[in-house]
Amino acid sequence: MRLSRTDCRPKKSGFTLIELLVVIAIIAILIGLLLPAVQKVREAAARMSCQNNLKQWGLAMHNYHDANSTLPYAGQRTPRRTFYVELWPYIEQTALANQYNRTLGFYQSPNAVTSSTTGLVAQPQKLYYCPSDRPNAMWTYDVYYRVRGNYVANYGGNYLFAEGTGVDPADGPFGWNSSGGFGGYVPYRRTLVAITDGTSNTLMLSETRIPAQDNAADGRGDVMNDGNSHWFMTLNTPNAGIDRNSNVCWPSVAANPDQTMPCVQAGDNLMSARSKHTGGVNAARCDGSVGFYSNSVNATAWKAMGTATHGDIISE
């Protein structure tokens, strides 16, 4: 029997439904394998960018020291401001520095404008934020709107103000000499030479985490306010312990919507270094170098790196 031309034509090939489902499944598996790698690359880049920010802050501290023969006050009371404002001329924010009224507090116009983001302290700058956290975050819990920030000063290896409590004073590169109550503290500042533990053995700055909402009752990252958490201590290792703030924080640990960064209202104002990096925090030392410190860092060594003149021996 002769075959017709039509019978000799090759049959059209195509995917069956099962083959199509198999291909889709393979693609999904490949995407699932690829995503963690992409996330790791992104986090590595964010961590390096964060370290670069800390290098810039450390360099600004040194340039301030060169110009003034001392480090700045991390926070000062008369008038009220923090090291962020002091270092503006050294982080390429001369325009802000020139407009700032240094006879007034951070909360007064033109430094801050009530319920507005037009004030000088309400202008977000890339250098304020770790890209792993929440860049451009603000403080809007009260009417003196201002930026939050991720970089905070080392106030030592103990509570913020330990005099009369039976424990050693915090003894950081920055801190308080005495206090007439939280609103009447007397700050100190040091020269680099006065850091007798060695500038390479003493932390200058590290990270803090910012709450998820600008109007959160959580003072962490409120870096323009001399009376709030522009500091950290090394009594707890990175990302450990319960932070304590006598100004604003959650009334209890359970009330905090983010259980990964516990904080309660308490008078000793203890703050740990915290970050959103996996496994630790970035920190700048007083010699200007920057490193990454694991959550599992030796607790004695970490506390020793917080003190400036205790003669602690750092070993891990």
**Which tens digits make up the pLDDT trace of 225-250?**
998 899 999 999 999 999 998 888 99
* Cβ-Cβ contacts under 8 Å for 88 (sequence gap 6 or more): 94, 96, 97, 100
C-alpha pair distances (Å), 145 with each of 105, 142, 169, 190:
13, 7, 33, 31
Domain extent, residue 162, equals: 19-306
Rg (CA), the chain: 26
Asked whether residue 4 is domain-assigned, the answer is no
Q: List pLDDT tens digits, range 107-135.
A: 999 999 999 999 999 999 999 999 999 99
CB atoms within 10 A of CB 215: 11
Q: Which of these, 129, 132, 104, 136, lies nearest to 54 by C-alpha position?
A: 129
Asked whether residue 117 is domain-assigned, the answer is yes
Average pLDDT of the chain is 89
The Cα 176–Cα 166 span in angstroms is 16
What pLDDT was estimated at residue 33? 73
Q: Which of these, 282, 280, 300, lies nearest to 291 by C-alpha position?
A: 282
The Cα 297–Cα 64 span in angstroms is 31
Asked whether residue 13 is domain-assigned, the answer is no
**Token representation of residue 62:** 């040194």
Q: Which of these, 68, 125, 49, lies nearest to 94 by C-alpha position?
A: 125
Looking at the 3D structure of the chain, how many domains does it have? Answer: 1
Share of the chain above pLDDT 70, in %: 87
The Cα 15–Cα 25 span in angstroms is 14
Asked whether residue 60 is domain-assigned, the answer is yes
Asked whether residue 156 is domain-assigned, the answer is yes
Asked whether residue 315 is domain-assigned, the answer is no
pTM of the model: 0.86
Query: In this structure, what are the phi and psi dihedrals at residue 272, rounded to the nearest 5 degrees?
Result: -95, 155
